[in-house]
Amino acid sequence: MPDTPFDQHRYQVRLEWGAAGLARLAPADVVVVVDVLRFSTTVTDAVAWGDSVPLDASAHAVSINGAAIAEAAAATGATVLLGCLRNASAVAGAVLDVQHRRGDRTSIAVIAAGELTGREPGAALRFAAEDQFGAGAIVDALGALGIDHTSPESAAAAEAFRGLRGALRHLLTASGSGQELLARDARDEVLNAAAVDAASVVPVLRDGVFVAY
């Protein structure tokens, strides 16, 4: 596929939104799917407890959007990781390990999932502040490890995370996605998702199943 102005191929760390955004980017060695409320966080916590989470019905039940992005990323042959606020630094460490194992500069696509406005085919994608912060936290953590050749899109997300990190608990509960979960009496779930670097586990997709990296 020829290069385009929007594929961010010049940069090691790239950022886009949703499955369509993944398709716009140049192919990457590692794809990190970020769906803070709730796919990435829920699966990260499950894997931390020693569970494995199949990508099929189990993952789709949590988020049809996040699961679809992970499935599309796997089809490209990339290493597929799940990232969130809870495991941002751990994800950066896993990416660095992938780079060491490959023995070569490794490209990373950070895909903020956003939220679909409906479950029907072709539903529009809605911006989700929590995924902006989660993606930014991972970009920031990558930079701290020296993987800092970031696209403007990645740099903007990292700066949003750094600037608003102290207010994440409030921002996640006040966001549209957070308010939706609060209406379901899931406040603790939202606050759990806002805890930066509270988890050391990184889910990786292997043979259709998320397991610990």
Handedness of CA 54, 48, 62, 175 (dihedral sign): negative
52-111 pLDDT per residue, tens? 999 985 555 556 788 889 999 999 999 999 999 999 999 999 999 999 999 999 999 999
Residue 59: what pLDDT? 56
Please give the full DSSP string across 57-123, using - where no structure is assigned: HHHHHH-HHHHHHHHHHHHTT-EEEEE-STTHHHHHHHHHHHHHHHTS---EEEEE--EES-SSTTP
More confident residue, 64 or 140: 140
172-208 pLDDT per residue, tens? 999 999 999 999 999 999 999 999 999 999 999 999 9
CA-to-CA distance for 62 and 65, rounded, in angstroms?
9
14-45 pLDDT per residue, tens? 999 999 999 999 999 999 999 999 899 999 99
Is the Cβ–Cβ distance between 13 and 136 less than 8 Å? no
**Structure token digits, residue 1:** 């596929």
The CATH number of domain 13-212 is 3.90.1560.10: yes
- Residue 118 pLDDT level (bands cut at 50, 70, 90): low
Q: What is the largest CA-CA distance in the chain?
A: 48
Q: Where are the domains of the chain?
A: 13-212
